[in-house]
Amino acid sequence: MKYLICGAGGFIGGHLVKNLMDEGHEIICADIKPKEFWFQIFDKNTNYSLDLKDYQNCRKVCEQDIDFVYNMACNMGGMGFIENNKAECMLSVLINTNLLRACTEFKIKKYLFSSSACVYNANKQKKSFVEGLKEEDAYPADPEDGYGWEKLFSERMCRHFNEDFGIDTKIVRYHNVYGPLGTYDGGREKAPAALCRKIAMAKINNFKNIEVWGDGEQTRSFMYIDDCITGTKRIFNHNKNEPYNLGSEEQVSINQMIEIIADIANYKVDKNYLLDKPKGARGRSSDNTKIFDSIKWKPEIKLIDGLTKTYKWIYNQIIQNKNNDKYTRNY
């Protein structure tokens, strides 16, 4: 088949491209970043560096007899980025809008939108170690300001394009994806990569403590990239046009994750809590009942195993003086 991967130069997008290539599909790749800053790029594909907020650019990549579209493109990062760039995050609604318009025009069969656990009602996330969030918990709507509202609105747009124009739209709500070949510095990194970097730097430089945003009692569940790709494709190939959680139910606090990474690194650190930094929801985890009942998917990679692979990759990047290259570019 012929796939268009939007956001192909990003973390999840790059891993998805590699997976689909290995299956023998033809891939058209698009990303706003200059190609030298894509996390993974493959010469055998057709690779476009362009802004998909522009409708004409969406037409350009969709007019090539595309069968399927994965929309992984958005302006986002960790909590520090999305809390301080709400307008920029919301502009990503133009990507989804114009891609759906182009898919309608060129009669593309199937479309996946990458949503987020940030769509969930904030009132259900005020305590540490909360119950896993179910898909219906997105309503009544009170999502993460900016980024979460953009994702929730874009989900509704997918639903209505399915109803009005017959596009087979799929929606996946990601819960904190992490792993190698992703951002770990520069302001857009998420907690697992940031903490792996901080502990690696402490070990390399013989520092005794690391900075922690908040009091460390915020809880999340974290999903390794390999599980993410497998689950994403399972949702894409399923026959339902409904949102699905894609995440782990292995909920941990930030303090607990620091201890896990410190054990992996064999280097203990003290914590310097920065209580004025962005912290996000107090507690958030995925309830996987729906996806398991419908698709029989569940994550296979334990947090300690995924963090071990991620820490080793980040540590090697740092000691090879690669911490200022494409993996940290601020796009």
> What's the CATH code, domain 178-221+250-286+301-328?
3.90.25.10
Tally of CA atoms within 13 A in the half-sphere of 209 that contains its CB: 7
Interval 86-111 mean pLDDT: 97
Q: How many CB atoms lie within 10 A of CB 201?
A: 16
Strand, coil or helix: what is 298?
coil
Q: How confident is the model at residue 231 (pLDDT cuts 50, 70, 90)?
A: very high
Residue 325 has pLDDT above 80, yes or no: no
pLDDT one-digit tens code per residue, 235-294: 999 999 999 999 999 999 999 999 999 999 999 999 999 999 998 999 999 999 999 999
- What is the structure's pLDDT at 329? 41
Strand, coil or helix: what is 310?
helix
Interval 232-237 mean pLDDT: 98
Give the type of residue at 231: G
- What is the structure's pLDDT at 102? 98
| Helices 147-165 and 93-105, packing angle to 10 deg | 10
Cβ contacts of residue 55 below 8 Å, gap of 6+?
Answer: 98, 101, 102
Interval 172-185 mean pLDDT: 96
Give the integer Cα–Cα distance in Å for 68 and 107.
10
pLDDT one-digit tens code per residue, 12-55: 999 999 999 999 999 999 999 999 999 999 999 999 999 999 99
Strand, coil or helix: what is 110?
strand
pLDDT above 90: percentage of residues in the chain: 95
CATH 3.40.50.720 domain extents, the chain: 2-177+222-246
- What is the structure's pLDDT at 1? 94
Strand, coil or helix: what is 129?
coil
Q: For residue 125, what is the DSSP state?
A: -
Strand, coil or helix: what is 259?
helix
Q: Phi and psi at residue 132, in whole multiples of 5°?
A: -60, 145
Q: How confident is the model at residue 321 (pLDDT cuts 50, 70, 90)?
A: confident
Q: Which residues of 26-65 are buried (b: 16+ CB within 10 A; e: fewer)?
A: bbbbbbbbeeebbbbbeeebebbbeebbeeebbeebbeee
DSSP element (H, E) containing 179: none
Interval 119-148 mean pLDDT: 96
CATH 3.90.25.10 domain extents, the chain: 178-221+250-286+301-328
Interval 60-73 mean pLDDT: 97
What value, to the nearest 5°, has the Cα angle with vertex 224 and ends 250 and 178?
Answer: 105
The one catalytic residue among 48, 111, 147, 311: 147
In contact, 245 and 232? CB cutoff 8 Å: no
- What is the structure's pLDDT at 331? 32
Interval 217-246 mean pLDDT: 97
Domain at 2-177+222-246, CATH from 3.40.1160.10, 1.20.58.340, 3.40.50.720, 3.30.70.860: 3.40.50.720
Give the integer Cα–Cα distance in Å for 213 and 3.
39
Q: How confident is the model at residue 330 (pLDDT cuts 50, 70, 90)?
A: very low
- What is the structure's pLDDT at 322? 62
pLDDT above 70: percentage of residues in the chain: 97
Residue 324 has pLDDT above 50, yes or no: no
Give the type of residue at 284: R
Strand 243-246 and strand 168-174: pairing?
Answer: parallel
**Known active-site residue 147:** yes
Q: By C-alpha distance, which of 54, 84, 132, 124 is closest to 279?
A: 84
Residue 326 has pLDDT above 90, yes or no: no
Residue 314 has pLDDT above 80, yes or no: yes
Residue 306 has pLDDT above 70, yes or no: yes
For residue 163 the two structure tokens come to: 């109803």
DSSP letters, 13-61, are HHHHHHHHHHTT-EEEEEESS-GGG-SS--TTSEEEE--TTSHHHHHHH
Give the integer Cα–Cα distance in Å for 264 and 97.
43
For residue 148 the two structure tokens come to: 């979460």
Q: How confident is the model at residue 327 (pLDDT cuts 50, 70, 90)?
A: very low
pLDDT one-digit tens code per residue, 291-301: 999 999 999 99
Give the integer Cα–Cα distance in Å for 221 and 132.
9
Mean pLDDT of the chain: 95
